[in-house]
Structure 1
Amino acid sequence: MYIADKNIKLPEDPNTIVWKYLDLSKFVDLLLYRKLFMSRSDKFEDQYEGTFSEPTFEEIKKLSINNPGFLEYYKTHRKNVVISSWHINEYESFAMWQIFTQKSEGLAIQSTLGRIQNALNADIEYEQHIGEVNYIDYKKEYIPFDNTFFPFLFKRKSFQYEREIRIISDLTSHNLEIDNGLKIDVDICNLIEKIYIHPKSENWYKKLVIDLVERLGFDFTIEKSDLESDILI
Structure 2
Amino acid sequence: MYVENQNIKLPNDPNTIVWKYLDLSKFLDLLLSKKLFMSRSDKFEDQYEGTFSEPTFEEIKKLSENNPEFLNYYKSHREKVVVSSWHINEYESFAMWQIFTQNSEGLAIQSTIGRLQKALEAEVQYKQFIGEVNYIDYKKEYIPFDDMFFPFMFKRKSFQYEREIRIISDLSEREIKINDGLKINVDIDQLIEKIYIHPKSENWYKKLVIELVSKLDYGFTIEKSDLESDILI
TM-score range, shorter chain: over 0.9
RMSD value, Cα = 0.5
Alignment of 1:36 with 2:27, yes or no, is no
User: Per-residue displacement from partner, 1:39-59 (whole Å, max 9, x unpaired)?
Assistant: 000000000000000000000
Q: Corresponding residue for 2:63?
A: 63
What percent of counterpart residues are identical? 81
Q: Corresponding residue for 2:141?
A: 141
Per-residue deviation, 1:165: 0.5
Q: Corresponding residue for 1:103?
A: 103
User: Per-residue displacement from partner, 1:150-171 (whole Å, max 9, x unpaired)?
Assistant: 0000000000000000000000
Find runs of 4+ consecutive structure 1 residues off by over 3 angstroms: none
- TM-score, reference length from structure 2: 0.99
Aligned letter for 1:107?
A: L
Structure-to-structure mapping, 1:45-124, within 5 angstroms: 45-124=45-124
Per-residue deviation, 1:105: 1.0
Aligned letter for 1:225?
A: S
Question: Per the alignment, in what secondary structure is the counterpart of residue 109 of structure 1?
Answer: strand
Distance in 2 between residues matched to 1:117 and 1:228, nearest whole Å: 32
Distance in 1 between residues matched to 2:36 and 2:127, nearest whole Å: 14
Distance in 2 between residues matched to 1:169 and 1:176, nearest whole Å: 13
Aligned letter for 1:23?
A: D
Aligned letter for 2:152?
A: F
Per-residue deviation, 1:121: 0.5
Q: Corresponding residue for 2:201?
A: 201
Q: Corresponding residue for 2:165?
A: 165
Per-residue deviation, 1:64: 0.3
Q: Corresponding residue for 2:175?
A: 175
Q: Corresponding residue for 1:18?
A: 18
- TM-score, reference length from structure 1: 0.99
Question: Per the alignment, in what secondary structure is the counterpart of residue 42 of structure 2?
Answer: helix
Matched residue count:
233
Distance in 1 between residues matched to 2:122 and 2:228, nearest whole Å: 35
Question: Per the alignment, in what secondary structure is the counterpart of residue 91 of structure 1?
Answer: coil
Question: Per the alignment, in what secondary structure is the counterpart of residue 174 of structure 1?
Answer: coil
Question: Per the alignment, in what secondary structure is the counterpart of residue 184 of structure 1?
Answer: strand
Q: Corresponding residue for 1:229?
A: 229
User: Per-residue displacement from partner, 1:81-126 (whole Å, max 9, x unpaired)?
Assistant: 0000000000000000000000111000000000000100000000
User: Per-residue displacement from partner, 1:22-55 (whole Å, max 9, x unpaired)?
Assistant: 0000000000010000000000000000000000
In structure 1, stretches of 5+ residues that fail to align are none
Q: Is the 8 A contact 2:18 2:113 kept in 1?
A: yes
Distance in 2 between residues matched to 1:208 and 1:146, nearest whole Å: 49
Distance in 2 between residues matched to 1:120 and 1:209, nearest whole Å: 25
Distance in 1 between residues matched to 2:81 and 2:213, nearest whole Å: 31
Per-residue deviation, 1:203: 1.2
